[in-house]
Structure formats: structure tokens, C-alpha cells
Amino acid sequence: MQEGNQIEEIKERIDIVQLIEKYVKLKQTGKNFSGLCPFHKEKTPSFIVSPDIQRYKCFGCGRSGDIFNFVQDIENIDFVEALEKLAKTAGVELKKSSPNTKFKEIKEVNYIATKYYYNQLLKSPIALSYVLKRGINKEYIKKFALGYAPKYPKLISEIKKSGNYSKKVLLESGLFIEKNGILKEKFFDRIMFPIRSKRGDVIAFTARQNAGNEYGPKYMNSPETPIFHKSYNLFGQYESRQEIRKQDLVIICEGSTDVISAHQVGIKNIVAPLGTSLTSQQLESLIPLTKNILLFFDSDSAGKAAIVRGFELASKLEMNPFATSPSPYKDIDELIQNEPSKISEVINNKVEAFSFILADTIKDRDLNKLEDIDKIKKIILPVLNSVKDINTKSLYIKKLEEITGITYGNTKEKSNMKLSSPTKNQTNPLIESTETRYLQLLLFAENRKEEYFLDEKYISDKVQQEIFSFITLNRTLTKSELFEKINTNIEAQKVLEDMIFNANKLPKESELENELLYLQRLLKVKYYKQIQKNLVSKIAMSDEIEDEEEKSKALKQLQKVAKILQKLKNE
């Protein structure tokens, strides 16, 4: 019987309602059955199964198909696996058709290479010692079939013992290169990490420098081949798939060593991109298993950038992104080597990725400074724009506004929303006039006493800060002399000129000192109130991401600032 006829026979023997009921609770509604869609989160059932046409469709996420589509998606398997599974359920004996010879031969070559590399690792004391010192034990060396490509490999002769493979197949496997018509092995003196397909076939390798090997990049992947496409596959996708479904969460980390280290301590729902940035296709391949992802990258700036990218990709796919960090350690592997029991705690303390990104973005930034507000906007605007779900986006906007005071402006077109923040023209006129008035009086003072000057940190405007520094360094010069001497800075000269021309109600010299000291106090109050505002935001953010240590530090600082403000008020 041909495969097409076998497929029809399987469809005739298996009722789609009975099949789907094994995974989804269905309720009859007229001729059809409905339930909560297993492919996306929903509260109202929009997943409909029709026994008449033996098909399903979700009116929420748009997924539809027959029994084969459903099993492929729900089990995260390919068509051949779904066919075998359903044939067994239906009691249909499949007639094996000849597989694509090229694909079959490349898989065979990879299988021979995996065995060869594994045996070479066990025979090489230096390479084995290096792997063991990295914290990977012999049990997991075997489970992940780690290997070693020797300095002078003999893989080609090993392959020839097992079969007669053409030069074309050997080159297409990605394990060999051709130089002057002669085949040479691509990998040598490297630790080999086999990359498996979702079915468990070895489709490629990640090769890491062995101890003392400084030739080439630290990590090398197999090139693109007929059976391996880097942007569609993840390291650990086969080994972790059952646990991902069980936990309803996939952890995405930096590299293969992180994945193996995590497996060793019982964290088995974890995968890693293959030496490149995370891709949309990689995330899409995880959706049938779970829509919940935990971005757990390195604690450096590249790792933080990877979390932003991961959030944007996941949000566009309407997945649920979370984030955490191995800090104070560089990566998961280092965290496990030092505190193996802590990784579960770090994972359990995961937070929404948006909150994580926002906390990191506003850290050490002054929410009273326009330049810092602009820096926050440059990161947060594209992050918010990537969120497709309206309710989720509204929640994130609310958090942004409550914690930072930055508002996400409303326009007729939601997609054209832009963040808004105070501009110079919107600055509090009292605060601006306090600085201007203080500098104006300092400029007109005939005798500039030491006590008239304060720390320049209390002057927030950059141009006025430059003018203040200039007056401080040239205390004995008259206002006209100062105006002439500051000619190298056109902007400062213009502001200085405005101060001179707008000096209407100047106090007498005898009263000037009291007003200057009063203005000093106002400037200090303004400065500490700005710090107070930043600390309140930091405490709110610490609450959001449940960082008790950071919250405690901020609260102590807030208490100190409150005492300073009270003292200034009493003065």
C-alpha cells in the first residue's frame, strides 16, 4: 500500500475528537466540540473540533489542521514521527518507503563521527581531563555524547570502514573541507558537542578549543548542510523537550556548556542558541512545547542585550518572556561550579522580562535629567513597540509610568505611540528661576565671598553649571569682564547676556547676601528631592523584581536624604 493510501486509512481509523480529548478537555456545542486552545493561553474557549470534517481550528491563534497537524504541534515532532505514532494507534502497519538517500547518508556519517569523537575523548587524557575540570562528569559526557577531534584526526578512514560514501556526501556533512582536490577534516584538537535534531539524530557539531589550542575561534559550529540549519535549531532541543513540556517553561541560556551543567544539577528544561543571536524560528519551534520562556543569559552587557532581543522576538510571537541573571557570576556554568544549589532559587525568582529590562535600564540613571530620560526612551520604546498583546502592553506602560514617571503618549494610531518626557520648556519654572536667580546675584555681587559659593553638583543645568564654574574660577572679575572672557562658549555667553539684560529687581548689596544664602538652601532642597525621587523609583523597581538587597540599600539612602531635607527645612 502506498503512503498516501496509508495516511487515509489512518484518518479513517482515528476519530479526531477522541484523539484531541487525550490532550484537551472538550465540551459538545451542537455538532462541534469546543475547548481551551492548547497552543495559546485563553480564558474563553475558541478551539473548535469538527467531527464532520475531522479537522480543528482555533479562532484565537488561527491554528488549524487534521490529526497529523495536531500531533505534530502538540508533541513537537515532525511528520514522519507523527505518522509512525498515529499508525501505531490506528493499528496500521507502515510500508517503509526508501528515505532520501543523501539525507540518510549524511546522518550516517554524523553518527560514525559521534562514535569516533566519543572514543577519542576517552582515549585522550588531556582532553578528558579538560572536560572533567570544566565540571562535566562521565555520566553526562556519555548522555550528551561529548567527544574529541584529535590533533591529527583519522575520521575519514573510520568512515571508509563503515561504508562507501561519496566525496560530495562527505563535504555536505560539514565535517570535511577540500584543499587541492584532497579531503581534509574541518575539526582538530577540539572538544566536540553533538547537536541533535528534535528526533535525536546528530545533525551537526559545536567544536570548542581544547586546553592549549589557540588556533581559530573559541567555538566553531558545523556549516549549514542539507540537514542542519543553525537558525532553526537549538542545542539541547532533543534532550530537554520532555522536561520543557512537563515544566511548561523553557530556559534559554548562552551556550552548550551551560545546558550540560544545568542538566547535571537537575535543570533539564534548558536549551541554547548555536553561537549566534536567538532567532524567531528557534522560538517558534518551542511554541508547541510551551509559550513560557526564561531568558537566562550571561551577566555582561552582551547578555543584557540578548535579553532585550529575546523579549522583542518572544513578544512578537505572543510568548510569555521572563528573565533572570547569574550575577554575580558570569554565566550559568560558573554559578553552578560555585553554588550548585543556588540555580533553582535563581530560576524560581525569575521576573517578567519587561520588569528586568526596565530595572537594568534605569539603574544608575537620574530620572530628573533629560539626557538620562532620553537614554531610557531609546531602549524602552522599541521594547514596548514589540508587544503585540494590547492588555500586556497596557500593563507594561502602567509599570513604566508608575516607576519612572515617563508617560507613553496616546495618539490615534496605537502603533505610532511615542514616549513623552519633560522638555526644557516644561521644566518647573520655580526650579529653573532659582538657579538663574542665584547665578544672577552671584554675577552682580560686588564682593563675592567664599560663603556665596556652593558645590557645583547643586546646579543641574549644564550651561548654567559651566557659567557657575567660570564665575568660581574668576571671582574677582566684573560681570562685563566675565562676559568678554567667556566668549569661547557661545551658548554660555548668550545665557549670561540674558541674565544681565533681565536683571530688574536686584537687592541692595546689604540684602544680597541673605537672598543668596536662601537660594542656596532652595537649590540643595531641589537636589535632594531629585535624589529622593530616584530612590523612590528604585524602591518601586526593587519591589517589582523582588530584589530585597537593593531595596534595603535604597531605603537606607532614602532615610539619610530625608534627614538632610528635614535639616534644610529647619534652617
Spatial contact of 109 and 170, defined as CB atoms under 8 Å apart: yes
Spatial contact of 316 and 388, defined as CB atoms under 8 Å apart: yes
The H or E element spanning position 314 is helix 301-316
CATH top-level class for 101-228? Answer: alpha beta
Cell numbers standing for residue 326: 547569574
Q: Residue 110: which of 198, 151, 170 has the closest Cα?
A: 170
pLDDT the model gives residue 471: 85
pLDDT the model gives residue 206: 94
In one-letter notation, the amino acid at residue 159 is I
CATH top-level class for 3-90? Answer: alpha beta
DSSP state of 29: E
pTM over 0.85: no
Alpha-carbon torsion angle 381, 383, 386, 390, nearest 10 = -80
pLDDT the model gives residue 549: 75
pLDDT the model gives residue 419: 45
Spatial contact of 367 and 459, defined as CB atoms under 8 Å apart: no
Per-residue pLDDT of the chain (571 residues; tens, 9 = 90+): 445 678 888 988 899 999 999 999 999 888 899 999 998 888 899 999 998 889 999 998 888 889 999 998 888 787 878 888 999 998 888 876 555 677 889 999 999 999 999 999 999 999 999 999 989 999 999 999 999 999 999 999 999 888 889 999 999 999 999 988 889 999 999 999 999 998 889 999 999 988 777 777 888 999 999 889 888 899 999 999 889 988 999 999 999 999 999 999 999 999 999 877 899 989 988 987 889 999 999 999 999 999 999 999 999 988 999 999 999 999 999 999 999 999 999 999 899 999 899 988 888 888 777 788 888 888 898 899 999 888 888 888 988 888 888 887 543 333 334 444 444 444 333 344 788 888 888 888 878 888 888 888 888 888 888 888 888 888 888 877 877 777 777 787 788 777 777 766 778 777 888 888 888 888 888 888 887 777 777 777 766 666 777 777 777 877 887 788 788 777 7
| Vertex 284: Cα angle to 280 and 289 (nearest 5) | 145
CA 144 to chain centroid, in Å, comes to: 26
Task: Please report the sign of the dihedral spanned by the C-alpha atoms of residue 275, residue 281, residue 285, residue 291.
Answer: positive
Q: What is the 3-state secondary structure (H, E, C) of 208-252?
A: EECCCCCCCCCEEECCCECCECHHHCCECHHHHHHHHHHHCCEEE
**The CATH number of domain 240-420, selected from 3.30.428.10, 3.40.1360.10, 3.40.50.970, 3.30.470.20:** 3.40.1360.10
pLDDT the model gives residue 562: 78
pLDDT the model gives residue 429: 38
Q: Residue 11: which of 51, 50, 54, 57 has the closest Cα?
A: 54
